């Protein structure tokens, strides 16, 4: 038996506001098909994985155990970090190295951590890489 991952779910205070942030970050659309829950997905009906935002009364109190790693597709990592800041994200940890490797850990407007890595345009081919499985 197998299953498909349908959504990654975020508990949040303001589902619409957080969905707007993530839609802008990913270039996806916002769908209000089960108010007050909000879905962010590339298209509707979304057949792949979307982000589901559910309003809850309690706030975030500890570090995420799961987070998203984002890789820019049409800009650099540093440009994406600046874009995220403009949208309301904050830098939690800067792990960029002088040689261009590394990532930036950020938090969305409600404090959910995510990382911005280098995009494919910034990565060098890896020699000796292999696939397991």
The pLDDT value given to residue 131: 59
**pLDDT of the residue at 129:** 60
What pLDDT is stored for residue 4 in this prediction? 84
Given this model, what pLDDT does residue 120 score? 84
CATH 3.10.180.10 fits 64-125, yes or no: yes
Higher pLDDT residue, 106 or 122? 106
CATH 3.10.180.10 positions along the chain are 1-56, 64-125
pLDDT tens-place string over residues 21-79: 999 999 999 998 788 999 999 987 767 789 999 999 998 888 888 999 999 999 999 99
Q: What is the pLDDT of residues 107-125, one digit of tens each?
A: 999 999 999 999 988 887 6
8 Å CB contact between 89 and 106: yes
- Give the integer Cα–Cα distance in Å for 88 and 80: 12
For domain 1-56, the question of CATH label 3.10.180.10 is answered with yes
Rounded to whole angstroms, the Cα distance separating 37 from 55 reads 7
Its pTM stands at 0.86
């Amino acid at each position: 038996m197998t299953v498909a991952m349908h959504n990654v779910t975020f508990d949040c205070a303001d589902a619409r506001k957080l969905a707007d942030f993530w839609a802008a970050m990913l270039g996806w659309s916002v769908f209000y098909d089960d108010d007050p829950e909000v879905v962010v997905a590339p298209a509707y009906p979304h057949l792949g994985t979307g982000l589901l935002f559910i309003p809850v009364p309690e706030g975030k109190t500890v570090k995420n155990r799961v987070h998203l790693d984002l890789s820019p597709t049409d800009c650099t990592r540093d440009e994406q970090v600046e874009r995220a800041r403009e949208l309301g994200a904050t830098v939690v940890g800067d792990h960029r190295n002088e040689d261009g490797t590394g990532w930036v850990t950020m938090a969305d407007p409600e404090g959910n951590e995510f990382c911005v890595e280098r995009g494919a345009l910034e990565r060098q081919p890896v020699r000796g890489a292999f696939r397991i499985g």
